[in-house]
Amino acid sequence: MMTRTIVLLCILMAAALAQPQGKTVADNQITVIKCGKLIDGKSDTPIENAVILVEGNKIKLVGHNVSIPKGATVIDLSSATVLPGLIDAHTHVLLQGDITTDDYDAQLLKESIPYRTLRATVACKIALMNGFTTLRDLETEGAMYADVDLKKAINNGVIDGPRMFVATRAINATGRYGLSNSAYAWELRMPKGVQEITGADEARRAVREQVSYGADWIKVYADQSYYRLPDGSFRSIQNFTTEEMNAIGEQTRMLRRKLSAHAVTRDGIIYAVNAGARSVEHGQAMDDECIQLVAQKGVFWCPTIYVNVWVAEGRAKEGNPIWPQLLENMPKVFGKALKAGVKITFGTDAGGFDWKENQAKEFSYMVKWGMTPMQAIKSATTVAADLLEMSGKIGEISPSAFADIVATQEDPLKDIRALERIGFVMKNGILYKNEMTAGR
């Protein structure tokens, strides 16, 4: 009996030792970062030769007259541009790019959820190494609540990854999402990329369930099946009844969560915004009325440009010429929204394109279509933090914010593509990447 107890204890101890320790930072650990240029996320101009003092996982001081405490680790980035950790407000870490329907279906049919989750751990690491210290991950595409596990594993230091805000399964109306019923024999019950609902009660149940499993955001697919009228305007099919959408909005609000709406044309945008959506995703075909509504209600627009660039040609070849047409329409919409004062937040739909593509490619399109480099940087820092109701905590380099800090050797205000070459990443006071001071 005794021997058995000892064996059991040994097994338990071995299991405990096998638990990863995780990367942590001591509360009293002090790191001083000397910056060449500091873009703090709030100011319109960079600050020259500032010093950041990090204590534990928070920024304690930022300025010119910061004395370096004894025993502090000093990181010299005086030839670099330092910025707040970037925020991508629209990703799918559980997806690996899907130009065609077959690409998408193969992931749901041929890869188990554990396998997809393993792949997602790589996506999380890539995002972090690219300088994205926070993601709003907008649904798992059939991988159920695996995003909640990924968030937990990151927070517990089991894997390296960004801060995660997760939406779990997303909601669409019955029959309105992949895997398409018409693509497979009708007697088969195919897996679905979303939670399907019919009626206001099922809508409420879906929100309640998702929140109970850990959803920070509720994501809905407000419209689909985009088409163009002879006058050149774009329309789509409204997926939910207004009653269903209002029920989702109300339940989301009651449970103190936030609503994100995939909505491309006025058929999706107007009723979703009126139901309380905090952000409109994609919106490639927003018309003037939508732009005014979104601006007036202070709703965030997450344009996800790069995914459109990535899928347009392939989808046209597959028989969907609407995709290049939507892409062609985007610069005009972007310019109008910018002029109207819409809160444009950085979001790429990474995962909708291959994770081998750096999601920071989004920036160059924002600048090409009318933003200043500083506006584009703010969209991925202070504006995105505002979307997440995390102002003052992330997206800025200021006292009491979390120490989420990145740097690049070149000046992104001169060439925004410098953000595709982030060489230094600190998240929550922990250093994950430093290719910039090695050997100096």
Closest separation in Å from C-beta 345 to Zn ion: 14
Residue 147 or 349: which CB sits closer to Zn ion? 349
Closest separation in Å from C-beta 351 to Zn ion: 7
* Distance in angstroms (rounded) separating the CA atoms of residues 41 and 86: 10
Number of Cβ within 10 Å of residue 436's Cβ equals 18
| Nearest-CB residue for Zn ion | 349
Closest separation in Å from C-beta 138 to Zn ion: 5
The neighbouring-strand residues paired with 220 are 171, 261
Question: Is residue 98 a contact residue for Zn ion (CB under 5 A)?
Answer: no
Closest separation in Å from C-beta 383 to Zn ion: 19
Nearest to 124 by CA among 419, 436, 427, 435: 427
Question: Is residue 137 a contact residue for Zn ion (CB under 5 A)?
Answer: no
Instruction: For residue 58, give every residue at least 6 positions away whose Cβ sits within 8 Å of its Cβ, in sequence order, or none.
Output: 400, 401, 402, 403, 429
Residue 349 or 420: which CB sits closer to Zn ion? 349
Cα of 54 vs its chain's centroid, Å:
25
Residue 307 or 418: which CB sits closer to Zn ion? 307
Asked if 294 contacts 269 with a C-beta cutoff of 8 angstroms, the reply is yes
Cα–Cα distances (Å) from 420 to 44, 82, 131, 412, in that order, read 21, 14, 9, 9
Question: Is residue 223 a contact residue for Zn ion (CB under 5 A)?
Answer: no
3-state SS, residue 202: helix
| Count of residues that interact with Zn ion, criterion CB under 5 A | 1
Residue 244 or 349: which CB sits closer to Zn ion? 349
Residue 224 or 437: which CB sits closer to Zn ion? 224
Closest separation in Å from C-beta 75 to Zn ion: 35
Site for Zn ion in 286-315 (CB under 5 A): none
Cα 56–58–63 angle (5° rounding)? 115
Closest separation in Å from C-beta 71 to Zn ion: 46
Residue 216 or 349: which CB sits closer to Zn ion? 349
Length, in residues, of the chain: 440
* Distance in angstroms (rounded) separating the CA atoms of residues 391 and 402: 11
Residue 140 or 428: which CB sits closer to Zn ion? 140
Closest separation in Å from C-beta 347 to Zn ion: 8
Site for Zn ion in 347-406 (CB under 5 A): 349
Check residue 111 and report its DSSP letter: S
3-state SS, residue 345: coil
Contact letters for Zn ion, residues 320-349 (x by CB under 5 A) = -----------------------------x
Binding site for Zn ion (CB under 5 A): 349
